[in-house]
Structure 1
Amino acid sequence: MKIGGATVNQIPFDWDHNSANIIDAIHEGIRQQVKILCLPELCITGYGCEDLFLSDWLSERAWQELLRIREHCDNITVSVGLPIRLGGITYNGACVISNKAIKGITLKQNLARDGVHYEPRWFNNWTKNETREVDYHGERIVVGDLMYTIDGIRLGFEICEDAWRKHNRPGYRLYDRGVDLIFNPSASHYAMGKSLLREDEVVTEGSSKFHCVYVFANLLGNEAGRMIYDGDIIIGQHGKLVGVNKRLSFKPYNLMATEINFREPEKTEILISSDIKDKNEELAQALSLALFDYLRKSKANGYVLSLSGGADSSICAVMVAEMVKRAVAELGWEKTREVLKLKPHTEQWQAAVGQLLTCAYQGTRNSSTDTYVAAEELARSVGAAFHRWDIDDEVNSYTQKITHAIGRELKWDTDDITLQNIQARTRSPIIWMLANVKRAVLLTTSNRSEGDVGYATMDGDTSGSLAPIAGLSKVFILQWLRWAEQALQHDGLSAVNNLQPTAELRPLERQQTDESDLMPYPVLAEIERHAIQERKSPLQVFEAMKTTHEPEVLKRHIRKFFTLWSANQWKRERLAPSFHLDDINVDPRSWCRFPILSSGFAAELALLP
């Protein structure tokens, strides 16, 4: 029997768009003679509807869309995800439609409640082994913990988080009922390396433990702004991978199906995968797709970027270029021009980037020739529109006004932070002005390491409406740029990669660098992993790191990290929306929440030996 999964790139409660993608995927399944097809979790509404899931009307409209989709399920069985509202309570459901007839709706039993997930805010979990017949908008429907028989194949469900619960997986109970096929419709957010975990811990392990065929089908693209879905479709049978699709597609839907031999698994058709798991390439795919979707779904005309010649702004510029190159490679020029609103006859990727990305180098007397040259060379190499202006007059104007108000001159020895911040903040209004003129999205370039310790000027370098790299550590960004120069042939990164990271806000003779202001970036990243990702106390961090670092220096770095982390939560609360790209994030809306006011770990830091 031919079994398949399909991924769709959806938009929250964009009914026509979402249903069209679902129907197109079903039609493709019918064309390929797929008998049973799995579509992702909550694909009718989109996963990112947030508090709208608590409303009655959203579920009611989703049901009307389901009835429309049902009419296209001719000679095929399809599972379609949608919210179900029963007695004022919302459940997360997978509806099985077989040859235009609704067979039932399986309801999710385990809700994701950590990291980026807030499902218990919107949904109730369903009780295991419980089923119920309900009158749902005039139809008698069976809902709950169900098993279906389709052409002699016994089908059951684990919905996303259900499969990650080691001791409460529905699969164990499905196995006891003699399941042949488990579908896992998911909205599993992207993080580097996560696909391999799904292959091993969900599909391979699940198909082995439950002695069945297992199909995982994930959502695709930047659906609602922050989360990226990689469109993973994975099929396994009895502990063996049968098929893995190519993820992070720019297409509105993808489908993968294979002939499954349920009686003689060794005769099942094995699909050859072209998916790439290397983290550097994976990030290039994910971030370029996220920018592509953000641009088209926001209906903006392009991106504007303050290009400093440093690593953070440079990776943003390169990713916009990769967005164009990868869209063209997969969709072709005609479709790319249509989606990105490019001028007719544009068929050079640099020319397309020039229409979509506008950069400006905003210098002061503290800026070096090296960073200007690096910025100009990179902009030229990717084809971006490039401007240069100086902001010293504006900085002097602000400084003179404060000097007059307080009756003294500002000096570097006494007013260091003030004199640094005013330069960063002065850059903000004019780059915003350029973005407004262009009707473009202003990219802010703060990274995760800066977010940890507040090494960013609020309303300065944090100014913007989208923070594409706020989920990446500086260590990863620096090595990625070196990789991209070679692997992606971005020769314009050569000058950038030869510079030491610096804010260039102090006079040049003071030789400012990021690491002299903070600590070595690899040390910061290691402390972050222990303190934030693994949630260790200062003393526990010290114990974990003391054998590989000089103890007294390490204690200074730990004190600085925890002190700055505590003092700068208010900055993290004001970060522009950012993409979740790694298995850790410090954006309080998409991973890590922390009080704005606290003790600052005073008692805990006092325990350091």
Structure 2
Amino acid sequence: MRIAGAALNQTPLDWDNNISNIIAAINEARDNQVDILCLPELCLTGYGCEDWFLSEWVPETALQHLIDLIPHTSNITVSFGLPIRFNNLVYNCACLVKNKKILGISAKQFLANDGVHYEPRWFTPWIHSQIENFSIQGKAYPFGDILYEVDGIKIGFEICEDAWRPDNVRPASRLCRMNVDLILNPSASHFAFAKSDFRYNLIIGSSERFNCTYLYANLLGNEAGRMIFDGEVLIAKNGNLIQRNDRLSFKNFNLVHADIDFSTGKVSEAQLHPDDREKNFEFWEAVTLGLFDYMRKSHSKGFVLSLSGGADSSACAVMVSEMIKKGIKELGVKEFLDKGGLSPIPGIESEPYEKQFRIVTEKVLTCAYQSTKNSGKETFESAEKLAESIGARFYHWDVQDQVSGYIKTIEQVLDHPLTWEKHDITLQNIQARSRSPIIWMLANINNALLITTSNRSEGDVGYATMDGDTSGSIAPIAGVDKHFIQQWLIWAEKNLDQPGLRFVNSLIPTAELRPVEKTQTDEKDLMPYWLLAVIEKLAIKDKKSPLEVFNILAKKNKTEATLLKAYVDKFFRMWSRNQWKRERLAPGFHLDEFNVDPKTWCRFPILNSGFKNELKKLEN
């Protein structure tokens, strides 16, 4: 029997797109003589519909589209993912259809409720071993925890989170006792660094422990804005990986299949090894796809970036450049432009690949260096050289007149001058805010997305000017810390052939908002970035108290105790008073095992004690 899984790049409530991708995947599967096709979780609606799952009409519309898709299942068995309202509760389901006939509907038994997932808000978990009847167009079908039989093969479902629970409670254990041959796992499992390694162990290990063939099919792409799905499809049998696809593809769908002789246990494919990728490579793959989908699904025509010449804005510029390179290489330039909703470029297909992506980059990415009297020659050259090296359109203008105008106005109102000794933050912030209106104008003129260059470290401590450098539509690096960005730029210069990065890689990070004689640097304002990254993991991901964080780090003896206490104190004070900034940051991608976005991973009260009592314990 030939079995297949298909990753689909779906969009919440985009019925036309979602159904088109489903039909295309079914047709390709049939062309490849596939017998059983597994599609991802909630592929009809999209996974990210959020509170609209609670509406009456979304499950009803999904069910109607399922009925419309049944004629497309001639001579093939397909599992479709959709929400179903049953007895006035909403369930996350997979409907198995064979040769234009519904065999039954399996309901998810365990709901994801950690990290970025809030499934119990919308769905109800199904009770194991329970089967009821569900009526579709006057005909009753089995609904619930079902073991199917297709051409003599016993088939069961685990829907995403079902498989991530302990073996003694997950559905696979009961399916194994019923001598299941094939477990299908339609999933919407978000991307995170190194998560694929865990997933390999899960799928391969499950096929061995439960003595079965295990087929896993994940969603693909930046579906709803913040989460990116890697589109992984894995097929394993009795502890061996026998098929996998290419992750994080720019295509609408990505299908792979394998031949299994269920009577003898033989497979036609050779055993494969996991697709191991280092963190730097995964970051490149995920963010480029995330940016492409965000651009096209928001119906934007490109990106505008305030390119300061520093590490963060340079990383963002390179990611857009790499998005274009990767997209053209995988799709071809014509399909890239068409899928991206970009205007055709006459004659571009006859140009060599290197010239194609430079031509497209000039149209898609516009950068501007916005200087004040505190800006340095080195950062301007860094920005200019990087933009030139990637082919981006580059502008340079001075905002000092605007800054001086604002300062003069408030001095007249208050009837006294502003000085760096008394008004340091005010004078820094007005420079960042003065840059915002004009760069927004450029984004509006271009019908483009304005990129916010904030990283996670800045989000931790609020080291950013609200309505200044936080202005933007998308924050592509908000999910990673500054220490990672710094080393990634060095990696990218070498491994992605980005020679323009050598300029920024030679600079010390600085906001360039104080006069040059004050020698401002980011780490002087805050603390060493490597230490900030360590503290944030302990404080935010692990939820340790200030004293616990100090005690853990003090044992490592990497920082003098008095100074370490000061850094821990500064982190918690700045974290606790800057939640209001995190609430207003532009949407960012979830990339790591945690993030500080209150709309996805980390919720914290805007008004709080500031860890007053906890920080007193640190002083003793």
Shift of 1:138: 2.7
1:603 aligned to 2:613? yes
Q: Secondary structure at the match of 1:102?
A: strand
Superposition pairs for residues 180-199 of structure 1, below 5 Å? 180-199=181-200
Q: Partners in 1 of 2:16 and 2:121 — Cα distance? A: 27
- Please say if residues 446 and 461 of structure 1, whose CA atoms lie closer than 8 Å, have aligned partners that are also in contact: yes
- Please say if residues 56 and 88 of structure 1, whose CA atoms lie closer than 8 Å, have aligned partners that are also in contact: no
Aligned CA distance change for structure 1 residues 469 and 217 (closer, same or farther; 3 Å): same
Q: Partners in 2 of 1:533 and 1:243 — Cα distance? A: 34
Provide the TM-score with structure 2 as the length reference: 0.96
Tell me what 2:327 maps to: 327
Mean Cα deviation higher: 338-347 or 168-177: 338-347
1:133 aligned to 2:141? no
Tell me what 1:178 maps to: 179
Q: Partners in 1 of 2:535 and 2:256 — Cα distance? A: 42
Q: Partners in 2 of 1:556 and 1:83 — Cα distance? A: 51
Residue in structure 2 matching 1:483, options 491, 503, 520: 491
Shift of 1:265: 3.7
Tell me what 1:83 maps to: 83
Mean Cα deviation higher: 565-574 or 84-93: 84-93
1:206 aligned to 2:206? yes
Q: Partners in 1 of 2:278 and 2:237 — Cα distance? A: 25
Q: Partners in 1 of 2:561 and 2:109 — Cα distance? A: 48
Shift of 1:337: 2.5
Aligned CA distance change for structure 1 residues 24 and 308 (closer, same or farther; 3 Å): same
Aligned length: 608
Superposition pairs for residues 104-115 of structure 1, below 5 Å? 104-115=104-115
CA shift digits 1:517-565 (9 cap, x unpaired): 0000010000111111111111221121112232221111111111100
1:501 aligned to 2:522? no
Tell me what 1:157 maps to: 157
Mean Cα deviation higher: 134-143 or 552-561: 134-143
Q: Secondary structure at the match of 1:587?
A: coil
- Please say if residues 221 and 293 of structure 2, whose CA atoms lie closer than 8 Å, have aligned partners that are also in contact: yes
- Please say if residues 220 and 249 of structure 2, whose CA atoms lie closer than 8 Å, have aligned partners that are also in contact: yes
Mean Cα deviation higher: 442-451 or 252-261: 252-261
Provide the TM-score with structure 1 as the length reference: 0.98
AA aligned to 1:171 is A
- Please say if residues 91 and 126 of structure 1, whose CA atoms lie closer than 8 Å, have aligned partners that are also in contact: yes
AA aligned to 1:134 is F
Tell me what 2:310 maps to: 310
Q: Partners in 2 of 1:544 and 1:66 — Cα distance? A: 54
Q: Partners in 2 of 1:159 and 1:134 — Cα distance? A: 19
Tell me what 2:347 maps to: 345
- Please say if residues 215 and 236 of structure 1, whose CA atoms lie closer than 8 Å, have aligned partners that are also in contact: yes
Tell me what 2:545 maps to: 537
Shift of 1:168: 2.4
CA shift digits 1:336-373 (9 cap, x unpaired): 12223142223421110000011100000100000000
AA aligned to 1:532 is I
- Please say if residues 217 and 234 of structure 2, whose CA atoms lie closer than 8 Å, have aligned partners that are also in contact: yes
Shift of 1:134: 2.0
Tell me what 2:445 maps to: 437
Q: Secondary structure at the match of 1:203?
A: helix
Aligned CA distance change for structure 1 residues 39 and 267 (closer, same or farther; 3 Å): closer
Root-mean-square deviation (Å) = 1.3
Q: Secondary structure at the match of 1:499?
A: coil
Q: Secondary structure at the match of 1:71?
A: helix
Tell me what 1:576 maps to: 586
Tell me what 2:419 maps to: 411
1:386 aligned to 2:394? yes
Residue in structure 2 matching 1:474, options 475, 482, 498: 482
- Please say if residues 135 and 141 of structure 1, whose CA atoms lie closer than 8 Å, have aligned partners that are also in contact: yes
Q: Partners in 2 of 1:234 and 1:70 — Cα distance? A: 25
- Please say if residues 276 and 282 of structure 1, whose CA atoms lie closer than 8 Å, have aligned partners that are also in contact: no
Shift of 1:111: 0.6
Mean Cα deviation higher: 274-283 or 563-572: 274-283
Q: Secondary structure at the match of 2:332?
A: helix
- Please say if residues 245 and 273 of structure 1, whose CA atoms lie closer than 8 Å, have aligned partners that are also in contact: no
Superposition pairs for residues 210-229 of structure 1, below 5 Å? 210-229=210-229
Q: Partners in 2 of 1:221 and 1:250 — Cα distance? A: 8
Q: Partners in 1 of 2:8 and 2:335 — Cα distance? A: 18
Superposition pairs for residues 9-158 of structure 1, below 5 Å? 9-158=9-158
AA aligned to 1:437 is I
- Please say if residues 245 and 275 of structure 1, whose CA atoms lie closer than 8 Å, have aligned partners that are also in contact: no
Q: Partners in 1 of 2:346 and 2:338 — Cα distance? A: 9
AA aligned to 2:54 is L
Tell me what 1:457 maps to: 465
CA shift digits 1:460-519 (9 cap, x unpaired): 000011111111111111111101100011001010110111100000111101000000
AA aligned to 1:572 is R
Shift of 1:276: 5.2
Q: Partners in 1 of 2:30 and 2:573 — Cα distance? A: 59
Aligned CA distance change for structure 1 residues 447 and 164 (closer, same or farther; 3 Å): same
- Please say if residues 246 and 273 of structure 1, whose CA atoms lie closer than 8 Å, have aligned partners that are also in contact: no
AA aligned to 2:587 is P
Q: Partners in 2 of 1:414 and 1:439 — Cα distance? A: 41
Q: Partners in 1 of 2:371 and 2:312 — Cα distance? A: 16
Q: Secondary structure at the match of 1:168?
A: coil
Mean Cα deviation higher: 561-570 or 253-262: 253-262
Mean Cα deviation higher: 237-246 or 101-110: 237-246
Tell me what 1:425 maps to: 433
- Please say if residues 258 and 267 of structure 2, whose CA atoms lie closer than 8 Å, have aligned partners that are also in contact: no
1:524 aligned to 2:532? yes
Tell me what 2:456 maps to: 448
AA aligned to 1:194 is K
Return structure 1 stretches of 4+ with deviation > 4 angstroms: 271-276
CA shift digits 1:247-268 (9 cap, x unpaired): 0001100101111233444544
Q: Partners in 1 of 2:406 and 2:110 — Cα distance? A: 56
Tell me what 1:251 maps to: 251
Shift of 1:274: 9.0
AA aligned to 1:124 is T
Q: Partners in 2 of 1:74 and 1:438 — Cα distance? A: 47
Q: Secondary structure at the match of 2:142?
A: strand
Q: Partners in 2 of 1:144 and 1:109 — Cα distance? A: 9
- Please say if residues 241 and 273 of structure 2, whose CA atoms lie closer than 8 Å, have aligned partners that are also in contact: no
AA aligned to 2:177 is D
Residue in structure 1 matching 2:603, options 576, 593, 608: 593
Q: Partners in 1 of 2:262 and 2:563 — Cα distance? A: 61
Tell me what 1:554 maps to: 564
Q: Secondary structure at the match of 2:604?
A: coil
Shift of 1:298: 1.1
AA aligned to 2:456 is R
- Please say if residues 207 and 213 of structure 1, whose CA atoms lie closer than 8 Å, have aligned partners that are also in contact: yes
Q: Which runs of 5+ in 1 are unaligned?
A: none
Q: Partners in 1 of 2:284 and 2:452 — Cα distance? A: 18
Identity of aligned residues (%): 56
CA shift digits 1:159-200 (9 cap, x unpaired): 111111115211111111111111110000111111111011
Q: Partners in 1 of 2:595 and 2:265 — Cα distance? A: 41
Q: Partners in 1 of 2:286 and 2:541 — Cα distance? A: 22
Q: Partners in 1 of 2:276 and 2:288 — Cα distance? A: 15
1:373 aligned to 2:381? yes
Q: Partners in 1 of 2:617 and 2:257 — Cα distance? A: 58
Q: Partners in 2 of 1:364 and 1:389 — Cα distance? A: 9
